[in-house]
Chains A and B, each alone.
Chain A
């Protein structure tokens, strides 16, 4: 349905062995570990931190790995420009007259951290999918309005995707390949397309709000899934806390060799 707007393999949600754990536990463990990795400032600590993402990589099948690889590629592509700026603009000695030696080392360090954090968060949190993530947010005490907003936004993204795809295709067809003032007319067509979609969605939202009101309002958005916190979840949290504390301890013990980031 969303072909043409969403990149392939858009939703990272998939079956995983980690599904045995409560979503709240997965979210807490993922963020604890990610914060610990973000605080690391030396190579030894990062080597130690690589163990858990490698273990998580081994947990799921080929489909999960393929999807993860695509997501990691996207994350690396998005950060490529800033990483390049880092290598070019960081103070210190230069090689090939352009690249800062310290900046390049730091850029590699940042890429390493980026991939480790991404693997942990994708495997532990993003693989739950939005619905279970919403359930985790409910269990962790996030406001009801925010959870409803998240679920409705998710729903309308998929609902409006086809329309936006069709309109952007129509805009591209009408613009053609040639034309002296293609850029400005392109921006105008693009702006009108979004404006039109906004007006239609505004009308539609009035009716949707009435329908939701008829169905019991926001009380209808409570999660039907029962959350269950057992000893398994407690052990998992304990393991992640100890692992994160160990990483920070290793990093602090090598404070002399620390990188700025």
Chain B
């Protein structure tokens, strides 16, 4: 999901930074000073969780968990993802500093969308609806993220359309796995600590 340095044109980078700046500003506005610790704790948990290897058949991968982070943080997912990606770029060179803006847009926009579209269904009293919404809240953001990656690629060079489609198709299995992990996680949180799913910006 990370876009590396060198792939995007300056226009696409500027667009990514503009989207991120707007999202981060709005997220910070929605975040009370007293909630910063909670947002930073959640951000660091997801940062660490995304470093853990998860097996897929003979291989392994790192999950992004952008759907669940959106469900828990709401709009404050924007600054949380920005800081987590900044740390990843500085500590491990995942992504990069120049493309930090586009990468934040790629992950934070689907994350907030998951909170807005699937959040109420995940918290609903109907178990079947919550079950389906939890899966979708995990998988749909991954696919939306790849669509945004594709949009950035197309903004850089129109002939990258096939590459963008290939990236989308390559992420389909990962979306299913992310959906499964999000499903188990939200069902667990619904049973043990349902308040956490209301979102930091709403509590």
A residues adjacent to B (C-beta < 8 A): 5-7, 10-12, 30-31, 34-35, 38-39, 71-72, 74-75, 78-79, 81-82, 85-86, 88-91, 110-118, 121-122, 125-126, 129-130, 133, 143, 145-146, 148-150, 152-157, 159-161, 164, 168, 182-184, 186-188, 190-195, 197-199, 201-202, 204-206, 208-209, 212-213, 217-218, 260-261
Complex contact B43–A34 (CB within 8 A): no
Query: When the two chains form the complex, which single residue of A161, A190, A209 contacts B54, counting CB atoms closer than 8 Å?
Result: A190
B residues near A75, Cβ cutoff 8 Å: 4-5, 93, 96
Instruction: Give the secondary structure class of B's interface.
Output: helix
A110 touches B52 (CB 8 A): no
Whether the pair B33, A198 counts as a contact (CB closer than 8 A) is no
Q: Is the CB of B54 within 8 A of A11?
A: no
Distance from A98 Cβ to chain B, minimum over Cβ atoms (Å): 13
Cross-chain contact A146 with B163 (CB below 8 angstroms): no
Given the interface pairs A35-B13, A161-B48, the reply to whether A199 lies near B192 with Cβ below 8 Å is yes
- 29 A–B pairs (Cβ distance < 8 Å), ordered by A: A34-B97, A38-B6, A38-B10, A39-B9, A39-B10, A71-B93, A74-B93, A82-B3, A89-B163, A90-B159, A112-B6, A113-B6, A126-B89, A145-B31, A145-B79, A150-B87, A152-B37, A153-B83, A156-B43, A187-B181, A190-B54, A191-B182, A191-B185, A195-B192, A198-B196, A206-B38, A209-B35, A209-B36, A209-B38
B34 at the interface (CB under 8 A from A): yes
Set of chain B residues within 8 Å of A186, measured between Cβ atoms? 54-55
What residues on A are CB-neighbors of B45 within 8 Å? 160, 164, 194, 197-198, 201
**Total A-B residue contacts, Cβ distance less than 8 Å:** 249
B19: CB under 8 A from chain A?
A: no
Q: Please state if A78 and B185 are interface contacts (CB–CB under 8 Å).
A: no
Give bound CA distance, A54 to B196, whole Å. Answer: 49
Does B113 count as interface, using CB distance less than 8 angstroms?
Answer: no
Is A194 in contact with B65, judged by CB distance below 8 angstroms? yes
With both chains docked as a complex, state the minimum distance between the C-beta of B115 and any C-beta of chain A, in angstroms: 15
Q: How far is the CB of A113 from chain B (nearest CB, A)?
A: 3
Contact with A along B21-59 (1 / 0, CB 8 A): 000110010010111111111111111110110111100
Q: Is the pair A121, B96 in contact by a Cβ cutoff of 8 Å? A: yes
- Taking CB atoms, residues of chain A closer than 8 Å to B166 are 85, 88-89
Looking at the assembled complex, report how far the CB atom of A112 sits from the nearest CB atom of chain B, in whole angstroms: 8
Give the distance in Å from the alpha carbon of A218 to the alpha carbon of B31 in the complex.
13
Inside 8 A of B170's CB, which chain A residues have their CB? Answer: 81, 85
Of the candidates A12, A31, A130, the one whose C-beta lies within 8 Å of that of B98 is: A31
Within 8 Å CB of B127, what residues of A? none
> Which of these, A7, A34, A82, contacts B167 with CB under 8 Å?
A82
Closest to A164 in B: B48
Residues in A neighbouring B57, C-beta threshold 8 A: 183
Q: Would A90 and B163 count as touching, CB distance under 8 A?
A: yes
Asked if A149 and B83 sit within 8 Å, CB to CB, the answer is: yes
Task: Determine whether the beta carbon of B184 is less than 8 Å from that of A188.
Answer: yes
Report yes or no: B36 in contact with A145, Cβ–Cβ below 8 A: yes
Contacts of A39 in B (CB 8 A): 9-10
